[in-house]
Amino acid sequence: MFFRKKVGIDLGTANTLVYVAEQGIVLNEPTVVAYSKEDKRILAVGNDAREMLGRTPGSIIAARPLSEGVIADYKTTSAMITYFLKKALRGRVLWPQVMISIPGGASQVEKRAVVSACKQAGASDVYLIEEPLAAAIGAKIPISQASGHMIVNIGGGTAEVAIISLGQLVAFKTIRVAGTKLDEAIMQTLRKELSLIIGERTAEEIKIKIGNAFIESPKSKVQSSKSESNNVVQERTMEVKGRDFQSGMPKVLEVGEGIINEALQKPLKQILEGIKQVFAMTPPELSADIVDKGIVLSGGTAGLKNIDKYITYYTGVASFVVEDPLFCVIRGVGMAIENLNSFKEAIR
């Protein structure tokens, strides 16, 4: 008897992760494609293409085919899914069953684009699962209970805020602000405040190394660390290389986390507004459940330092980041494809 492989894909704006049944997560690469401008021939995908970002000659374009969680360039996305499937299945792509995550508020057109891109890549059956549900399954939240759970999945292109009860989304909102918008905010602030021009990759490095969503006021630091009064909390800094905005010459600066914290406030506030809007749409009984259980944070951008403290402070509801937030959605997609019958309600 011929067994078809079951494959789960978390097709993200920043990273794509692939899960193969009985093997686990087999691939984690950047969602970047490099192709020639002339004949649109694909030259590199994933890690190799990311190395080219901001470093290509005029004849080669290195770009992200997904924008804000949605397919922006259909042809390159299809080629990229084909590449990732071949790599994950070691070249033997024999009509696998594919489950792929989509944003909670994806339109019919966006859903069709994802399905046809997967079919063109060689998939026989394509199942769609909404990202917040996949993240909740991956975070081991008992979603089938008649009880409210709030999950905020902050990825590269979108932040998905959802209230889940009885295995379905009760209230949800897709905010088109997430990791890439945080990178852009860092780029803009450094250009404006320090006259330093940097690229996407450098901005992402800064965010990972010294990004901080919530810096406690000195007063609260003093109260919380009276015993450590000699240990003054040092600001984290990082050497950043870029180009001077005025002279156009290379420039190296020491950048502290304070200025990066200021840069991140505007996009973080937009995510916070989305959370508040979802709370406003939630039935009171479910709101009461969430106050008891707290807000679950997942997705790669949930790895930003103190993002849980930031959300707790401004919503008044306890928030916590799941273990390995980047792998939360793909774990959920993997569990759902391996147990298709149990999750029939959640998939499309």
**119 three-class SS:** helix
207 is in an annotated binding site: yes
121 is in an annotated binding site: no
153 is in an annotated binding site: no
24 is in an annotated binding site: no
User: Please, are residues 27 and 16 in contact by the beta-carbon 8 Å criterion?
Assistant: yes
| Residue 329 to residue 12: CA distance in whole angstroms | 10
Q: What is the largest CA-CA distance in the chain?
A: 70
In this structure, which amino acid lies at residue 344? K
Strand extents, DSSP E, the chain: 6-11, 15-20, 24-30, 33-36, 42-45, 60-63, 66-67, 70-71, 97-102, 125-130, 149-154, 159-165, 168-175, 196-197, 237-244, 250-256, 295-298, 319-321
158 is in an annotated binding site: yes
What's the distance, CA 140 to chain centroid? 19
75 is in an annotated binding site: no
Beta strands 60-63 and 33-36 are antiparallel
76 is in an annotated binding site: no
Nearest to 330 by CA among 302, 305, 298: 298
**113 three-class SS:** helix
DSSP states along 124-188: SEEEEEEHHHHHHHHTT--TTSSS-EEEEEE-SS-EEEEEEETTEEEEEEEES-SHHHHHHHHHH
Q: Pseudo-torsion of CA 201, 204, 210, 215, nearest 10°?
A: 150
Beta strands 149-154 and 295-298 are parallel
Helix axes 108-120 and 74-88, enclosed angle (nearest 10) = 50
156 is in an annotated binding site: yes
User: Please, are residues 171 and 278 in contact by the beta-carbon 8 Å criterion?
Assistant: yes
Binding residues: 13-15, 156-158, 204-207
Binding residues for ATP: 13-15, 156-158, 204-207
